[in-house]
Structure formats: structure tokens, C-alpha cells
Amino acid sequence: MIVKIIRPHTAFVLRKQNLYPRFASFCISVLISFIFLGCNNPFQPEVEFTPRLNVYAVLFADTYGVYIRVTSVEKSPFDVQQPVHGAFVTLKFTDHPLLRWTFHDTTTVIDGDSVSFYYLPNDIIPGEDYTLSVEREGYLTATASATVPFSYVTIPDLDTYIALQDTNQLKFGINFNVNVSNLSSAAFVQVFVECRGLDDAGKFHAAFFNVLPVDSLNPFTEVETTTLPVAVDTTLYKEAFILAKKYTATLKVSHIYADIIVTQIDDNLYRFFITSNRTLNPLAMRTDKIVFSDIFDHAGTGIVAGASVDTTRIFLF
């Protein structure tokens, strides 16, 4: 039995950079006069600060409910970024501008902390191009567009399915292809052996064993075709399968599954991910500029992107 599961999206973390003006050197007399003036006058930046919005939104395919964060761009690195309330936030199909939905300004408590966001109880349709707009008095209007990649169920062939069930059949390894959308710029695949069940007291238990490790700094592969090859290490899978068997042996009722998780992201999110994570890799070329979405017409900053996360669960035992 093969089941497709839509998992809740994963939060992404924004990093922000501020630009600072450099001041030229002046002759000694002018410099001295500035020093004396500085004793009686507060510092005034040479460039007038224009309030701008920082918007973070990732639209996940086949997911009900959209959450976005809206804050203000800091004037200096010492300013505390505060959520912006009272904004008029809308989402619409780019090709059908008359049909649009309005977000709700929401504040809730999660793990004891107050969290503010804008929420839209709406489905995100794969393959659609959306336009997000944020309007707030005192700020420039921020507008951005993103295309949501299609999502697919991964169905292995019969030989792969048999190999997943019976490790004695693993003579040539576990190899299969996953389908990806031509609307995505990058994707990565995860494979887990999952076991779950109930003990004698009726308490639920679950365990996951990763059999396809990925690079934590950059797990993505750039999408050039509509399929990605996947090769699972035979030894790693056998070890995980043995551990799953031992785990379920202690349970009264149990099942073992193979989970294939495919994550796809559009070009907006991929460019942001690559540039914001370069500084974490000492071997990568350093860049001082994070590539945000090509959005807002310089009216703001942030990321508006499309993504899909799909899990195909294959029943083994």
C-alpha cells in the first residue's frame, strides 16, 4: 500500500544585512570643526531613512493555510525588529487579479512566547502563480510574485518494492527515480525507515531511521530534468531495517514503513538559500549580499517563494 502524505511546512530563518554609509576624510580644519559640532548635535545620517517592510512568505503546495511574517527593516543594527500590525495583506492569482483573499492579523502564544503573523485559511494550488501585496500606512507598498511547484507521489517499481521489504533481496542496491516539477529550481530527497505502534498499555510509539543522509549546508540538487535519481546505501538500509525490527519487537501492535520525502523549491527560495548559507561554509566563496526575491521594486526586502514537500509512505510490514 502506498500513501501520499502532506507534511506541515518547515520554518525557514531569515538573515538580514544592513548597509552603512562610508564617510570621506576632510581637511584638518573641517574635521576639527565637526568634532566641536558633534559635542552639541546628535548624529544625523547622511541618507534619509525610508521605512520599509520586511516580508517572509513561503507558499507550500497542497497545504491548507498560509502564514506570513511582516516586520519593519531596522534603521540600525541596534534596533529590535518588531512585527508590523495593521497591514492590509492580500494574495491573488497573478493571472486573475480580481480574485483575491485577505489575511488576518494574528497574535498567539507558542511555547510561552508571543508570536505575530498574518494568516490566510486558504488552499495553495500547485502550478499557480500568486502575487502577494502588503500595504501599511507609513511604508512603501510591498508586492511580490511566486510560482508554486507541482507535487508528485513517488511510486517505486516492483523490484525496488521487493527490495525494501526483504533485505535479503538487496543484491544490487536500492535505486529509483522521483518526479519533480519543471517549475522548481532545486530539490532534495530524504528516505527514512519508520516504525510505529502501540505497547501493552496502549501508548503510541514511533521511531525514524535516516537511510539517505544529505548535506546539512546545502542538501539541494539543481533541477535540470523532471526526474531525480535516488540511490540508497544497501548497508545503511539493512542496519536501519534491523533497528526497526528490534524496536517493533517490543510493541504489541506495530508497522514498518519506508518514507520517501521530496522537497522542491522555486528560484526565489533557492537563490536566497544559497546566498544566505554561503557564509556557513568555509570552503565556499564569500558574498556580502544575500539574494532576496526579485520583489518589492526596492520598496522592501524579504522572501516570497513557492515550495512543495511531499511524503510517500510505503507499507512494508
Q: Which of 264, 266, 245, 267 is nearest to 256 (CA)?
A: 245
66-122 pLDDT, tens digit each: 998 988 876 655 455 688 899 999 999 988 877 889 999 988 888 878 888 899 998
200-249 pLDDT, tens digit each: 888 998 999 998 887 777 788 888 888 888 888 888 888 888 898 888 88
Among the ranges 40-44, 76-80, 215-219, 287-291, which has the highest mean pLDDT value? Answer: 215-219
Q: What are the phi and psi torsion angles at 151 (to 5°)?
A: -120, 150
Domain contains 199: yes
**Dihedral sign for Cα atoms in the order 233, 234, 236, 241:** positive
Q: Are 58 and 269 in contact (CB under 8 A)?
A: yes
At residue 40, the 3 state secondary structure works out as helix
Grid coordinates 507521489 are at which residue? Answer: 153
Q: Are 72 and 51 in contact (CB under 8 A)?
A: yes
Q: Are 133 and 90 in contact (CB under 8 A)?
A: yes
| Mean pLDDT computed over every residue of the chain | 75
| Domain ranges, residue 221 | 158-264
Query: Which range is least confidently modeled, 32-41, 118-127, 240-249, 290-299?
Result: 32-41
CA distance 295 to 50: 17
Domain contains 254: yes
Domain contains 208: yes
pLDDT grade for 288, boundaries at 50, 70 and 90: very low
Q: Which of 211, 158, 188, 209 is nearest to 2 (CA)?
A: 158
Domain contains 16: no
What is the predicted pLDDT for the residue at 36? 36
Single-letter amino acid, residue 175:
N
pLDDT grade for 20, boundaries at 50, 70 and 90: very low
Please report the DSSP string for 76-110 in residue order.
STTSPP-BPPS-EEEEEETTEEEEEEEPEEEEEEE
First to last CA, the chain: 10
Q: Which is it for strands 53-60 and 300-315: parallel, antiparallel or unpaired? A: parallel
CA distance 294 to 301: 9
Q: What is the mean pLDDT of residues 265-291?
A: 65
Q: Are 176 and 160 in contact (CB under 8 A)?
A: yes
Domain contains 242: yes
At residue 208, the 3 state secondary structure works out as strand
Domain count, the chain: 1
